[in-house]
Structure 1
Amino acid sequence: MSSLAVLEDLPSGYFVEETPRGILAVHADSARALHEAGYGPDQDGDLVASELAGRRPLYQFGPAAPPEAQNFLIRRFSHGGLLRWLTGDRFLRADRPFRELILSDALLRMGIQTPRVVAARAIRDRGGWQLDVMTRRVEDSVDLGWVLGAMRRGELAVPARHRMMERLGSLVRELHLHGCPHADLQPGNILVNLSALEDEPPSYWIIDLDRSSRRSELSEGERQTNLARLYRHVARRDEQHGPSLSRSDAARFFRGYDPDGESWRKDWRAVRERHVTALSWHRMGWLLERVFGGRRPDPRSTGTVEAPAPETR
């Protein structure tokens, strides 16, 4: 019997290792590489900070690790907003990374691209738990935050940006049709292939599924609330750095989200109303977060970080 009930629901191919301090769920195909890298239920091995930019720190294995392990990224859970200042990376519940693993596997089986989870881990730490999720790196990709910055700077041709926005709408539609309102639907949690910035069709991956869940069906209000979350994050960037999306970009998004044209007008009005109603509260929260929460500025919006060069294969 596992110490956490959620471990009984792990997909096939994963097994659990436990010590008095830690719990590790790992896929059988990657277990040997992780063991050789020194990563276990209560050991990090040779972890170093990743060069990838983002709101939350990412880690990877150093050069001494096996080549396969060097393709893995480790996201250490951290609280958002003011809680980051109070509790850092300690959590009361140990089950969150394992629930994310289960949801990620379910979305992959439904045809929604998300990086496959290699391992999930919880370690006892200072009266709580330190939580990790390890995934395979999505090569030759950037996140939507970087893309919006490029749009703002006029670096994307109109046909490319229209293709990207329409496919983005389709991605969110697929999530909602499968009953999954991403708990943190925002540009930093959506990756797109670098080649889409030129002439290739866009291919998206959804990442960071912590606190997300699935249900049989979403109500209209749940859909619109999730759309409003995405819009709020884009609007926040635009307020800080200048507009990134045109009216035609928004129209392309809703063409992908509502290809039959039955609900997009109603959805758009609801999104705008929710945004305007909550804007004052969100601005106050953003201010407090900047003052007390230790939020790092995002260099992707201003062009102070470059997109990674595509790998030569």
Structure 2
Amino acid sequence: MSTVDRGTGSRRIAAERLKAHGPEGRLFQPPDWQWAHAGEVGWWVRPDWRSVLLTPEGALRLDEWRANGWVETIKRGPHRIVSRVALPSGPVYVKQFLVPTWREVLRQWFRRGKGRNEAKQARKLAAIGVPTIRPVALGERRVRKFLFENTLISPEIPEAIPLDRFLRDVLPSMERRRAVIVRHRLAEALGALTARMHEAGMRHDDFHPGNLLLRLDGDDQPWLAMIDLDAMRVGKPLSAKAAAANLARLNHASLLLASRTDRQRFLRAYVEVRGAVLGELGPFTKQVVGLTRRWAERLWRRRARRCVGSNTDFQAIRERDRWVVASRSIDRETLDRLRVNPDGPFSDPDAVLLKHSRTTTVVELTILVDEAPTRVVYKRFNRKKRLEAVLTAVRPSRAWRAWQANHHLRSRGLPTPPDLLVLGRDHRPGRLRWFPSGPSETFLMTVKAEPSITLSDYLVSILPERPEADRIAARRRLAGALGRLLRELHDRSLSDRDLKASNILIEGNPDAIRPRLSLIDLVGVRLISPLPKNRRIQNLARLIASLTEHPEWNRTDSLRLLRAYLPQHESAAGRWKQVWRRIERRIRRKRARNLRRGRPLS
């Protein structure tokens, strides 16, 4: 059978299955479902589950389960609560869809409840052979025909975990050869499953690895199931354009979890199933990659913007002569003390002074974060110029630039310790308050990464004590890790013009096969999309110039760093030589400028 015939046949079979009611009969209708009613809440429930889930009066046994300690909250937000209940007969998931505003009430008036929609989509997926949840009860609260909170209950899918958790936590801990085989099979299985959905006209508008469950059988063959189905839409088989747009959502979510090779293997498997509908693999891949980049930039920027105002994660407070934006994880009493007296930690007898210079003062102390004692770094950006407040009226302050850069990095999955608080204070005399300006002093609080050491301190104090062979091996590992870190930074449209050894942390064990590096002191970080080559060269030159100031670092190590930074095809083709010459010219200019200004090259 040709590819076109196979695609046409699969569409016809899928359409026939969707028209049929299936082996379980009609959804939420007798005799397969029973009706129960308690107050304003009505329940459709499977007969064999009624006594397990509902009381004789028809109410959900949720309070009883909580009293027995069987309820574990998995997700909690303003729009839904997802709980896992460890019943003696087997675990079930209780998904409660909340209605915090009238917007949700009106949405459900036109589109039915989210619980009912999700159950219907689950039946349609099962009809085309895609594993998914199996609802056993639906509860809806109605007041004067308006639908409010509704609840969907389904048994747990045994031995399955979310795909994003598997890629982040389980796969890296596997033996290398086994991990490679699992990655290959997983990419192909996911491509085939997605193609089957699109061929049946199903499009998931919230398509990401967190909405897929994975289970490996004894031979490491992947089994995938789709969950969180309220965002599923059903229509005609997806065209090449619509398929590329939907795949861009999954591809974007996998940017931080899967390699480029795995994503290409997924697309190849997808195109093989759908055949002539999509055309050639090359042009289709290029289309998906372009859409993925635009979608990723949009979501990364949206997540990073959360740090500028009040929401579920942050609180913004503005007063007459100061303002503060803080994470909600900070203890409220500690936050109030800092608002009243931002300089208090510098006189705290338990604080450890880390740095005191003309530009910054830094201490380390312990505060309560999420009700647990946490070591933090607190920094005051001192006034560098008399007109500091006037300058910050037309440009962001140093603390604010570092605060936003921290969240840009974290939204893009780049390693950096999380910032907890940014605070600005105006110290101008009363007669100058009429002049437009920003804060004259700013403060920034960051979680201290433990255990950790700066790359500069490691090269100065620890590496020289090692045997020669160990020093060479350590420098090779660090060069590779630095090149990969800088490449990821640039690939995600970020530049750091002050990238130096003292602004890079080695977290955990410095002798690990792949050292964990993270960035600190982010005042020089900028978001530029697309990032020009000149910026890339400047970042490379600044880092290599800083490293070569250490006797332990040599020219060969810098070349290894550059080879790890460049794409493999450019490095293999010898193009690294042109880049190296540009870096050397930039380093000579940097050294000459610092020499004229009498400033050391740190």
Same fold judged by TM-score > 0.5?
yes
Whether the 8 Å CA contact 1:114–1:207 is kept in 2: the answer is yes
Against the structure 1 CA distance between its residues 233 and 157, is the aligned structure 2 distance closer, same or farther, given a 3 Å change threshold?
A: closer
Question: How far did 1:211 drift?
Answer: 4.1
Question: Helix, strand or coil: the match of 1:71?
Answer: strand
Quote the residue 1:60 is aligned against: 364
Quote the residue 2:577 is aligned against: 265
Q: Give 1:83-94 correspondences, 5 Å limit.
A: 84=384, 87=386, 92-93=391-392
For each residue in 1:67-125, what CA deviation from the matched residue of structure 2 results, as whole angstroms up to 9, or x when unmatched? 8465221122247xxxx4x5598774174333432321121121101111101010112
Whether the 8 Å CA contact 1:77–1:89 is kept in 2: the answer is no
Against the structure 1 CA distance between its residues 230 and 183, is the aligned structure 2 distance closer, same or farther, given a 3 Å change threshold?
A: same
The one-letter code matched in structure 2 to 1:93 is T
Whether the 8 Å CA contact 1:10–1:102 is kept in 2: the answer is no
Against the structure 1 CA distance between its residues 144 and 89, is the aligned structure 2 distance closer, same or farther, given a 3 Å change threshold?
A: farther
Question: How far did 1:179 drift?
Answer: 1.5
Answering whether residue 441 of structure 2 is matched by residue 133 of structure 1, we say no
Question: How far did 1:8 drift?
Answer: 8.6
Question: How far did 1:248 drift?
Answer: 3.0
Whether the 8 Å CA contact 1:151–1:245 is kept in 2: the answer is no
The one-letter code matched in structure 2 to 1:269 is R
Task: Structure 1 unaligned segments of length 5 or more: list them.
Answer: 1-5, 299-313
Quote the residue 1:40 is aligned against: 339
Answering whether residue 317 of structure 2 is matched by residue 22 of structure 1, we say no
- Aligned-residue RMSD, C-alpha: 3.2
Q: Give 1:113-262 correspondences, 5 Å limit.
A: 113-126=415-428, 129-150=440-461, 153=464, 155=466, 157-196=471-510, 198-235=511-548, 237-238=549-550, 243-262=551-570
Q: What is the TM-score of this pair, normalised by structure 2?
A: 0.41
Whether the 8 Å CA contact 1:120–1:132 is kept in 2: the answer is yes
Tell me the distance in 1 between the aligned counterparts of 2:590 and 2:342: 43
Tell me the distance in 1 between the aligned counterparts of 2:475 and 2:320: 51
Against the structure 1 CA distance between its residues 247 and 280, is the aligned structure 2 distance closer, same or farther, given a 3 Å change threshold?
A: closer
Question: How far did 1:53 drift?
Answer: 6.0
Tell me the distance in 2 between the aligned counterparts of 1:273 and 1:169: 20
Whether the 8 Å CA contact 2:463–2:471 is kept in 1: the answer is no
Against the structure 1 CA distance between its residues 58 and 278, is the aligned structure 2 distance closer, same or farther, given a 3 Å change threshold?
A: closer
Quote the residue 2:160 is aligned against: none
Question: How far did 1:32 drift?
Answer: 1.9
Q: What is the TM-score of this pair, normalised by structure 1?
A: 0.74
Tell me the distance in 2 between the aligned counterparts of 1:175 and 1:104: 12
Question: How far did 1:51 drift?
Answer: 4.6
The one-letter code matched in structure 2 to 1:283 is L
Question: How far did 1:255 drift?
Answer: 2.7
Identity fraction in percent: 22
For each residue in 1:121-173, what CA deviation from the matched residue of structure 2 results, as whole angstroms up to 9, or x when unmatched? 10112465111111111111111111222477353532222111110111111
Question: Helix, strand or coil: the match of 2:495?
Answer: coil
The one-letter code matched in structure 2 to 1:60 is E
Tell me the distance in 2 between the aligned counterparts of 1:124 and 1:170: 41
Question: Helix, strand or coil: the match of 1:114?
Answer: coil
Task: Structure 2 unaligned segments of length 5 or more: list them.
Answer: 1-304, 430-438
The one-letter code matched in structure 2 to 1:169 is G
Tell me the distance in 2 between the aligned counterparts of 1:87 and 1:234: 34
* Number of aligned residues: 271
When Rg is computed on C-alpha atoms for both structures, the one with the higher figure is: 2
Against the structure 1 CA distance between its residues 61 and 276, is the aligned structure 2 distance closer, same or farther, given a 3 Å change threshold?
A: closer
Against the structure 1 CA distance between its residues 234 and 129, is the aligned structure 2 distance closer, same or farther, given a 3 Å change threshold?
A: same
Question: Helix, strand or coil: the match of 1:30?
Answer: coil
Higher relative contact order (CA 8 A, sep 6+): 1
Tell me the distance in 1 between the aligned counterparts of 2:308 and 2:569: 39
Quote the residue 1:108 is aligned against: 410
Whether the 8 Å CA contact 1:92–1:129 is kept in 2: the answer is no
Against the structure 1 CA distance between its residues 218 and 30, is the aligned structure 2 distance closer, same or farther, given a 3 Å change threshold?
A: same
For each residue in 1:205-242, what CA deviation from the matched residue of structure 2 results, as whole angstroms up to 9, or x when unmatched? 1111114210211111111012112223334x34xxxx
Against the structure 1 CA distance between its residues 249 and 232, is the aligned structure 2 distance closer, same or farther, given a 3 Å change threshold?
A: closer
